[in-house]
Structure 1
Amino acid sequence: MVLTDTHTHQYYETDPEKKAALMQRCLDNGISRLFLPNVDASSIAQVMDMVNTYPEHCFPMLGLHPCDVKANYEEELDAIHHALEDTKVYAIGEIGIDLYWDKTFIEQQRDAFTRQIGWAKERDLPINIHCRNAFDEVYAILQQQHDDKLKGIFHCFSGTVEQARQIIDLGLSLGIGGVVTYKNGGLDKVVEQIALQHIVLETDSPYLTPVPYRGKPNESSYLIYVAQKVADLHQTSVEEVARITTENSKIIFGV
């Protein structure tokens, strides 16, 4: 069984022994493919260190996280764009709009999101979309940018069935993580109505820890609990969920 974590910040752990233990727990649970998004220019080195340490299991994405779009966002974009010239990446991300914490830089977030979608199209890469309290804003830009080059994942999807179908109709996949295991999260009712062909799995480690470890730091090895919940919702085996969602990830990322 091969499970793919399409979105993890496991590189936040910098202690070599702890990092090795995290990876071993992943492999013990069948999670052998990890896709790592940076968040800003300074975190690129952390991503690449983990990729270089585990080249058979870890794959980088690069982009500017919307929460890191500040007054100096042009400098950040320039640094990340420069890094793309020398770095093999498998997606542009995570990128998008976040209006949960701060709405000060909403126009800059829109600009950064649109420009980075352009980078992805130029390189024939997927995008990895961050959206929090901003579905309408994100969807409007995706509609504007929609063409045969637009592809990728709507990371940490937690919306309605209608919103799920809107995203799928744009040719994008839904990233499903720990929220699907939450008793009152409501995502389970959505996921059971969405075909597995439109779903990929993720942890967003160290955030959004699934049951039974909710309240503790997340890690990619816990993806097994997300996969099992999705399997239960679709009345199939975890092995079948792993097969389909990993195949979906291979189509998206090209690896």
Structure 2
Amino acid sequence: MTTIVVVGGTGQAGRAVVREAGARGHDVRVVSRRRPEDVAELGGAAHHAVDLLADDDAAVIAALTAAFDGADAVVDTSNGMTPGAQAVFTTGARRVAEAAGRAGVGRAVVLSIAAVDQSEYPYYRAHAEQERVYAAGPAPVTVVRATQFHGFLDLFFGRGSRLGAWSRLGLLPYPRGCRFQTIDLRDVARALVDAAEGEDPLGVGPATGPSGAPTATVGGPQVLDARAMADAWRRARGSRRLPAGVPLPGPLGDFLRAGRNLVPDAAAGTTTYDQWLAGR
């Protein structure tokens, strides 16, 4: 039985990896800052409470080393959206990589983003640095880059989003001039666990990435215009809100409008956006 440790295993992507690894019969451990109130989220996995960004560097590395003891692979799905939390991609990654080396872990697997090194968007720059940190670390690493998850556009469509005022006007905002190749979290989890097992992630085949580490990129099964995705979301929700294209400013908007988020040659996902919407 293979032992897989999922760092960030209580997050959105981490939970999918925990479920996938457990379904394959692996012994699974979860590392996260807090133990979830609903232990069912752990799927029977052992939990280790470690704050990757705690002040005491040596104590964090020691706690991670203990959590990784005897593990065959570590899968890092940790995430930090705010500028302060993005240190998880640098300080946190260095600590995880060092602990994996100390514990003799045979393989580290890192979840990243397709073409993440091709944007000046701060969140993407931090993710690209995470890849470099792992590549320079003591444990063998495979980077799995994924396109945006199917839920990405809920940042625009959801009533609780920053564009909520548009909802009150009866409008459904979407990023104008952008296309997406979104992927289901379950497909991403399969790729990550494949890599943790030492297999070819979804048959895509890792190549040497910009960081120098073996890197596999996985994308969803379709390339769709954001307006088409807005229409699909409306149908699935029975919404009467009218689609309205809005400009997405800054480096992220430049990145998406240039189509650098698209990887048609790596369409490894199996669940379409419509299927994902129908299953929610």
Higher helix share: 1
Which structure shows the bigger proportion of residues in strand conformation? 2
Normalised TM-score (structure 2): 0.36
TM-score by length of 1: 0.39
Higher relative contact order (CA 8 A, sep 6+): 1
Radius of gyration: which is bigger?
A: 2
